[in-house]
Amino acid sequence: MNRPLKNYDIAELKRLDLAHHLPAQADYKLLEDIGGSRIITRAEGSTIYDGEGHSLLDGMAGLWCVNVGYGRDELARAAYEQMLELPYYNTFFKTVTPPPVRLATKIAQKMSVGNPDLQHVFFNSSGSEANDTVLRLVRYYWQLKGEPERNIIISRKNAYHGSTVAGMSLGGMSFMHAQGGPMVPGIEHVRQPYAFNEGFGQDPAAFAQVCVDDIEARILAVGPDKVAAFIGEPVQGAGGVIIPPEGYWPKVEALCRKYGILLICDEVICGFGRLGQWFGHQHYGIKPDVIAMAKGLSSGYLPISAVGVSSKIVEVLKTGGDFVHGYTYSGHPAAAAVALANIEILEREGLVERTRNDTGPYLAKALTRLNDHPLVGEARSLGLIGAVEIVSEKGTNHRFGGKEGTAGPLVRDLCIKNGLMVRGIRDSIVMCPPLIITHEEIDRIVDVIEQSLNEAEPKLR
């Protein structure tokens, strides 16, 4: 798109940012020390540009979300036209607007593939809010069923389910639990299926069983009739792109069915094509009762999230009168119109199938090149999400400095210097590019990671 470039006074913006704006998940003192945040001013396709003349290939699709890439005129137009017709109305008090109805119908069509009971959608504005809805919804379901003591939710250590109080409590990140507690009670965290760190060298099927046994042991410890639900991301994203071993998800599903526990999939990252299916659980062939989705739902163009709910649950909700839960922006018409147009792009351009059959396998193959690198312990991916584990000793999972978190940030910073936006999570470099990424851009991602590892090696050794 040929839009005139705006001129920003970057030095002034940085000064004002430090003076007045508190950015997300930041060390405010450190930001001050380094002179403020990088100011991103525009983007096109899979490339972002900062105000100081740098361009970066966006290996993270923003924050795991810009699935259709940047600069989509069609999405801007969908928002504009909806805003002129009806910028806002709510879904409280027996009113609704057309876009959320159409969007819910479209989502139901996608999520019911292989799981015909998944037919209903509740809207929110963020992934965290979606998980707040999930928490209240499943506990309320069991109250209505006459089992109010079934209120324990089992989640995993190192899971990420958001930053609201419910989101961070459902999540399993101990450094988040340590700030601003107390957490929501009644949430238990079990072993994560992180084979490289916790099942190193083990047979994948045996490690899957170890993880599932840990869930079962916790169910038995708290009492099977006290457990409301199990929640998990099909692939843990913010935890470090943890792809569970073969067999893990079907075994977890079987365990939920054995004890009559609801199965919740947090599809906030995995939904809308990331793993090469519309939803991540479809890749694993399981049938959750509830799913949370956000990010790729609108490719981040406007904030919107949703909770997919099975008819089995909705039939029970119908016995309870008002479900007194909802947000001012639940079903926001402009956000819903954009999400609908975004799904139409994913469909029209075949981006989900392309991820499954073309770019996903291409990324997996390109990453195998890194397996020969002396600092790489493992390079893994599924669809268009992947991670490279950095180790101090080839053939082991030992980390530099004898502790986690030394190499990841260093290599990440080198990647950014070399023109690639990725994240460093502990000692891994993670990537999650837009689904429009080309083969050439995938090669560039791998080349820049390799170059950055080469530059990091003498600094680390």
Q: How many residues bind ligand PLP (CB under 6 A)?
A: 15
Q: Which of 67, 126, 282, 381 binds ligand PLP (CB under 6 A)?
A: 126
**Which of the stretches 232-240, 336-344, 387-395, 408-416 binds ligand PLP when contact is defined by CB under 6 A?**
232-240
H or E stretch at 118:
strand 118-124
Residue 183 in tokens = 């957490």
Selection from 197, 201, 187, 121 nearest residue 154 by Cα: 187
User: Is 238 a residue that touches ligand PLP (CB under 6 A)?
Assistant: yes
Smallest separation, CB 266 to ligand PLP (Å): 4
Nearer to ligand PLP, 100 or 377 (CB): 100
Element (H, E) at 376: strand 376-382
Q: Is 234 in the site for ligand PLP (CB under 6 A)?
A: no
Nearer to ligand PLP, 118 or 430 (CB): 430
**First and final C-alpha spacing in the chain:** 46
d(CA 330, CA 100): 9
Kindly tell me the sign of the dihedral angle through the C-alpha atoms of 210, 215, 218, 220.
negative
Interaction of residue 290 with ligand PLP, rule CB under 6 A: no
Cβ neighbours around 179 below 10 Å, total: 7
The backbone torsions φ and ψ at residue 115, rounded to the nearest 5 degrees and listed phi first, read -150, 70
Q: Which is nearer to ligand PLP, 233 or 389 (CB)?
A: 233
Q: How far is the CB of 127 from ligand PLP (least distance, A)?
A: 2
Rounded CA-CA distance 115/130 in Å is 20
The CB-of-385 to ligand PLP minimum distance in angstroms stands at 11
* Residue 272 is a binding residue for ligand PLP (CB under 6 A): no
Span near ligand PLP by CB under 6 A; candidates 15-23, 126-134, 276-284, 394-402:
126-134
Shortest Cβ distance from residue 184 to ligand PLP (Å)?
15
Indicate the helix (H) or strand (E) that contains 337: helix 333-348
Q: How far is the CB of 429 from ligand PLP (least distance, A)?
A: 17
| Residue number, nearest CB to ligand PLP | 127
φ and ψ at residue 433, rounded to 5 degrees: -75, 165
Residue 294 or 410 with smaller CB distance to ligand PLP: 294
As a dihedral over the C-alpha atoms of residue 133, residue 135, residue 138, residue 142, rounded to 10 degrees, the angle is: -130
User: Which lies closer to ligand PLP via its Cβ, residue 169 or residue 392?
Assistant: 169
Nearer to ligand PLP, 2 or 25 (CB): 25
Residues 6+ apart with CB under 8 A from 308: 107, 108, 111, 118, 120, 121, 290, 291, 292, 293
**Which of 6-14, 184-192, 242-250, 266-274 is the region at the interface with ligand PLP (rule: CB under 6 A)?**
266-274
Q: Per rule CB under 6 A, is residue 266 in the interface with ligand PLP?
A: yes
Query: Smallest distance from the beta carbon of 362 to ligand PLP, in angstroms?
Result: 24
CA distances from 311 to 73, 103, 124, 207, 364 (A): 36, 17, 19, 34, 37
- The minimum distance between CB 269 and ligand PLP, in angstroms, equals 5
User: Segment 154-173, which members bind ligand PLP (CB under 6 A)?
Assistant: 160-162, 167
Residue carrying the six token digits 């250590």: 157
Q: Closest by alpha carbon to 86, among 335, 319, 342, 285?
A: 335
Closest CA to 251 of 242, 236, 263, 237: 263
Residue 309 or residue 414: which is nearer to ligand PLP going by CB? 309
> Which of 132, 188, 233, 441 is in the footprint of ligand PLP by CB under 6 A?
233
- Beta carbon nearer to ligand PLP, 144 or 173: 173
Whole-number minimum distance, CB 206 to ligand PLP, in Å? 27
Residues 5, 11, 12: CA angle, nearest 5 degrees? 90
Q: Is the peptide bond between 182 and the residue preceding it cis, with omega within 30 degrees of 0?
A: yes
For residue 112, give Cα distances in angstroms to 52, 119, 121, 283, 340. Answer: 46, 6, 11, 13, 17
Residue 237 interacts with ligand PLP (CB under 6 A): yes or no = yes
- Which region among 78-86, 122-130, 214-222, 328-336 touches ligand PLP (by CB under 6 A)? 122-130
Indicate whether 268 belongs to the interface with ligand PLP (CB under 6 A).
Answer: yes
The binding track of 185-224 with respect to ligand PLP, each residue x by CB under 6 A or -, is: ----------------------------------------
For ligand PLP, the binding residues (CB under 6 A) are 126-128, 131, 160-162, 167, 233, 237-238, 266, 268-269, 294
